[in-house]
Amino acid sequence: MAQVAFVGAGPGDPELITLKGVRAIQAADVIIYAGSLVNPEILAYAREGAKIYNSAEMTLEQVIEVMEESAARGKQVARIHTGDPSIYGAIQEQMDILGRKNISYTVIPGVSSFLAAAASLRREYTLPGVSQTVILTRMEGRTPVPPGETLGELAKHGATMGIFLSVQDIERVMAELGRGYAPETPVAVVYKASWPEEKILKGTLADIAEKVEREGISKTALILVGGFLGSEYERSRLYDPEFSHGYREKSR
Ligand code: SAH
């Protein structure tokens, strides 16, 4: 077994974690969880006596120190990230340091919040004839984004877009998106997808900012944009009787 398991905890609902993720938490002597977003109920999977650290109060150096000391004493570590750790998880820098220190690790994926949001909205991101592309991004803020990746640039594709970490700047987000999408483009904001306090706001590029401000939503929300939220689309060829593929002949 690897010395450190990075675990995607899912979007909030403690049942939206993988079996493998639960097993890694059950097996852990030491748990480091991202306390700002991971549902504390996930910690109920920990065995009695496991040592628990909240990384929200720690630096990268302190997190690594806990991992290194634990590994040296033969202890199993579970490092719990919200959603899936590959999306804004700051996991790469941890993996690279562990690699240099010859500490073995494994990554257990999780259900990202953008997937939980689609489920709550009961919408499909990739509708035929509407968009076949999903762009996951965030607004430029205290941390810049690389050239060519501003919201205004990305908006020009007209694709389905999921915007993380940006709801506090909703007005600016909509102004930037207006460089590509029409003002009547549908927008949904999903606050705490899969949590009991989940909220869904629906509107357009033109009016969503006002609704979000009225509800006082300023964190833990995703902004979802595009025609996939509308009602017009073509039926899928996958189940079309006029269309054959590897698993099914065209019906007559
Ligand atoms: N790795 C996480 C994202 C971490 S970045 C994932 O895969 O979901 C943190 C941002 O994710 C938040 O600012 C918010 O935009 C989004 N987020 C995380 N959990 C959420 C949830 N349950 N509902 C809506 N947005 C969420």
Which ligand 1 atom minimizes the distance to the CA of 113? 8
Low-confidence ranges of the chain (pLDDT < 50): none
The pLDDT value given to residue 174: 98
The pLDDT value given to residue 247: 84
The pLDDT value given to residue 135: 98
CA-CA distances (angstroms) from residue 238 to 68, 126, 229? 49, 13, 21
The pLDDT value given to residue 252: 64
Distance 189 CA to ligand 1 centre (A): 12
Q: Counting beta carbons within 10 angstroms of the beta carbon of residue 47, is it exposed (0 to 12), middle (13 to 18) or buried (19 or more)?
A: exposed
Beta bridge partners of 51: 30
Query: What is the residue-wise DSSP string for 74-96?
Result: T--EEEEESB-TTTT---HHHHH
Nearest CA to ligand 1 atom 11: 164
- Residues, the chain, total? 252
Q: Counting beta carbons within 10 angstroms of the beta carbon of residue 23, is it exposed (0 to 12), middle (13 to 18) or buried (19 or more)?
A: middle
Cα distance between residue 60 and residue 14, in whole Å: 26
List pLDDT tens digits, range 183-211: 999 999 999 999 999 999 999 999 999 99
Instruction: List ligand 1's pocket residues with C-beta within 6 A.
Output: 11-12, 37, 81-84, 87-89, 112-113, 116-117, 164-165, 190, 192-195, 220-222
Distance 243 CA to ligand 1 centre (A): 38
Which of 142, 75, 143 is CA-nearest to residue 103? 75
Residue in 37, 94, 190 to alter for ligand 1 test, most ligand atoms within 8 A of Cβ: 37
For 81-91, letters b (16+ CB in 10 Å) and e give bbbbbebbbeb
Distance 244 CA to ligand 1 centre (A): 39
Nearest CA to ligand 1 atom 2: 83
Which ligand 1 atom minimizes the distance to the CA of 111? 7
* Helix (H) / strand (E) containing 62: helix 60-72
3-class SS letters over 211-234: HHHHHCCCCCEEEEECHHHCCCCC
Which of 21, 66, 25 is CA-nearest to residue 46? 25
The pLDDT value given to residue 169: 97
Domains and CATH numbers, the chain: 4-108 (3.40.1010.10), 113-229 (3.30.950.10)
Distance 22 CA to ligand 1 centre (A): 20
Distance 192 CA to ligand 1 centre (A): 8
Distance 35 CA to ligand 1 centre (A): 13
